């Protein structure tokens, strides 16, 4: 069987979460599967730097960028130049008039609940929904990364639940506890982080609830007089300038550190060095970043909605993301209790064992080959 993969978004430098998913799932599939052949459709610059791991894997250069007209009208012709039996779209954005047998992976339904700045246009919203609907309806099988996302697909598109297979993501092996030996201190210095800190990592968009976290942090300073700084890591988005404005207007702005994008090699050290990791999101398709933090021995406190209770179970302290006082209280509960910190570390290590990229790859191969 010859299987094509739309790998235009390959690599974390391209699209962070989706790019990392494509890299991890393909790395593991190609290592495990000794029977099928694969085609990786890629764009520059990743095309030139990617080296197929075996003769059974071929890379093909394509040009259309994601979320463009060319993706819909030019890409099908570039795909059609190659012979294959099935194509895997690792995101919702497939060329919907290309009717080759397909599998798609859906990571979340965030834009239907939190459209964001780029979805203000009615035409853009209509186009998004049309492409999303076309992708899930055309697919012979839909992979979702959580039961929460599966339920979202069923709700918004009336898809038969039997067509959907939940396959959990894994955690990259590079995430592990960093022993200090000056390493954590060096990474903190590189990002201008001083003293103990509370950590958030993610995109600066409305569904991540960063403003709620800032409000909770102000309560922690006023009511509980904590000494920890708040580190808001992630690339700042100019379309969500309200977050920067809130930081600048805060009476504790000198205690809020915004280091920007964190290099992947530095993330384990930051997780290991943080007193607590917070995920205040209103919606998460999977919450991989929580597992990364847990694998590095960091206690996690997170929202009690969408996929996070499913993925974290009893290994984290959960709160209502719409209640800033409760968020502050739960964060302080961890900061003030050494025994609880250790319990959460141990539960976190146990929880992460449930997730594996190798397991995800084997289950994905089963989806490809089922009749």
| Res 116 pLDDT > 90 | no
Bridge partner list, 164? 142
What torsion do the CA atoms of 86, 89, 92, 94 make, to the nearest 10 degrees?
Answer: -70
- Cα–Cα nearest to 311, from 171, 213, 199, 216: 171
| Res 69 pLDDT > 70 | yes
For residue 239, the model assigns a pLDDT of 83
Residue 146 has which token pair? 């959580």
Average pLDDT over every residue of 2-8: 98
Write the pLDDT tens digit of every residue in 9-43: 998 655 568 999 999 999 999 999 999 999 999 99
Residue 220 has which token pair? 């922690």
For residue 14, the model assigns a pLDDT of 52
Q: Are 135 and 119 in contact (CB under 8 A)?
A: no
Average pLDDT over every residue of 45-66: 96
| Res 267 pLDDT > 60 | yes
DSSP string, 148-191: HHHHHHHHHH---GGGEEE------TT--PPP-TTHHHHHHHHT
What torsion do the CA atoms of 206, 202, 131, 129 make, to the nearest 10 degrees?
Answer: -20
| Res 55 pLDDT > 60 | yes
For residue 52, the model assigns a pLDDT of 96
DSSP string, 310-358: HHHTTSSEEE-TT-HHHHHHHHHHHHT-HHHHHHHHHHHHHHHTT--HH
For 167, 173, 352, the CA distances from 356, given in Å and listed in that order, are 10, 10, 8
For residue 235, the model assigns a pLDDT of 87
Within a 10 A sphere around the Cβ of 152, how many other Cβ atoms? 22
Residue 64 has which token pair? 């259309």
Q: Are 17 and 31 in contact (CB under 8 A)?
A: no
Write the pLDDT tens digit of every residue in 212-260: 999 999 999 999 999 999 999 998 888 889 999 999 999 999 999 999 9
| Res 112 pLDDT > 90 | no
| Res 367 pLDDT > 70 | yes
Q: Which residues contact 155 (CB under 8 A, 6 or more apart)?
A: none
Confidence of residue 120 (pLDDT cuts 50, 70, 90): low
| Res 118 pLDDT > 70 | no
Write the pLDDT tens digit of every residue in 178-216: 987 889 999 999 999 999 999 999 989 999 999 999 999
Within a 10 A sphere around the Cβ of 176, how many other Cβ atoms? 14
Confidence of residue 125 (pLDDT cuts 50, 70, 90): confident
Confidence of residue 100 (pLDDT cuts 50, 70, 90): very high
Average pLDDT over every residue of 269-286: 97
Q: What percent of the chain is modeled with pLDDT above 90?
A: 86
Backbone angles phi, psi at 157, to 5 degrees: -130, 5
- Cα–Cα nearest to 212, from 154, 270, 278: 278
Q: Which helix (H) or strand (E) holds 317?
A: strand 317-319
Average pLDDT over every residue of 84-94: 97
Within a 10 A sphere around the Cβ of 93, how many other Cβ atoms? 23
- Cα–Cα nearest to 276, from 220, 207, 228, 215: 228
Write the pLDDT tens digit of every residue in 291-334: 999 999 999 999 999 999 999 999 999 999 999 999 999 999 99
Residue 314 has which token pair? 């009893």
Q: Are 62 and 70 in contact (CB under 8 A)?
A: no
Q: What percent of the chain is modeled with pLDDT above 70?
A: 97
Write the pLDDT tens digit of every residue in 153-162: 999 999 999 9
Residue 313 has which token pair? 């179970």
For residue 83, the model assigns a pLDDT of 97
Domains and CATH numbers, the chain: 2-170+356-369 (3.40.50.2000), 183-352 (3.40.50.2000)
For residue 128, the model assigns a pLDDT of 86
Asked if residue 308 has a cis previous peptide bond (ω within 30° of 0), the answer is no
């Amino acid at each position: 069987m010859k299987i094509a993969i739309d790998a235009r978004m390959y690599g974390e430098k391209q699209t962070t979460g989706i790019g990392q998913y494509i890299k991890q799932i393909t790395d593991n599939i190609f290592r495990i599967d000794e029977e099928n052949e694969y085609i990786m459709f890629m764009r520059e610059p990743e095309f030139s730097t990617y080296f197929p791991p075996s003769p059974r894997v071929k890379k093909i250069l394509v040009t259309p960028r994601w979320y463009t007209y060319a993706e819909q009208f030019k890409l099908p012709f570039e795909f059609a130049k190659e012979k294959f039996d099935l194509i895997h779209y690792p995101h919702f954005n497939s060329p919907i008039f290309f009717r080759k047998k397909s599998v798609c992976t859906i990571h979340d339904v965030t834009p239907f609940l939190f459209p964001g700045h780029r979805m203000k246009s009615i035409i853009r919203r209509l186009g998004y929904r049309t492409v999303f609907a076309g992708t899930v309806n055309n697919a012979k099988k839909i992979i979702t990364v959580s039961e929460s996302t599966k339920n979202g697909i069923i709700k918004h598109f009336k898809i038969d639940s039997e067509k959907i297979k939940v396959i959990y993501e894994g955690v990259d092996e590079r995430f592990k506890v960093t022993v200090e030996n000056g390493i954590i201190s060096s990474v903190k210095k590189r990002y201008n982080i001083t003293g103990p800190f509370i950590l958030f990592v993610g995109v600066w968009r409305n569904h991540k609830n960063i403003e709620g976290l800032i409000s909770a942090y102000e309560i922690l300073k006023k009511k509980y007089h904590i000494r920890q700084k708040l580190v808001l890591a992630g690339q700042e988005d100019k379309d969500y300038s309200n977050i920067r404005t809130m930081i600048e207007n805060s009476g504790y702005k000198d205690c809020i550190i915004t280091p920007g994008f964190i290099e992947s090699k530095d993330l384990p050290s930051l997780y290991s060095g943080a007193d607590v990791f917070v995920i205040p999101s209103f919606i998460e398709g999977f919450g991989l970043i929580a597992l990364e933090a847990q694998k590095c021995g960091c206690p996690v406190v997170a929202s009690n909605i969408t996929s996070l209770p499913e993925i974290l179970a009893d290994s984290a302290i959960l709160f209502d993301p719409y209640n800033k006082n409760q968020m502050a209280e739960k964060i302080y509960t961890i900061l003030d209790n050494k025994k609880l910190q250790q319990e959460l570390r141990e539960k976190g290590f146990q929880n992460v064992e449930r997730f594996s990229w190798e397991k995800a790859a084997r289950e994905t191969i089963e989806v490809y080959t089922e009749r």
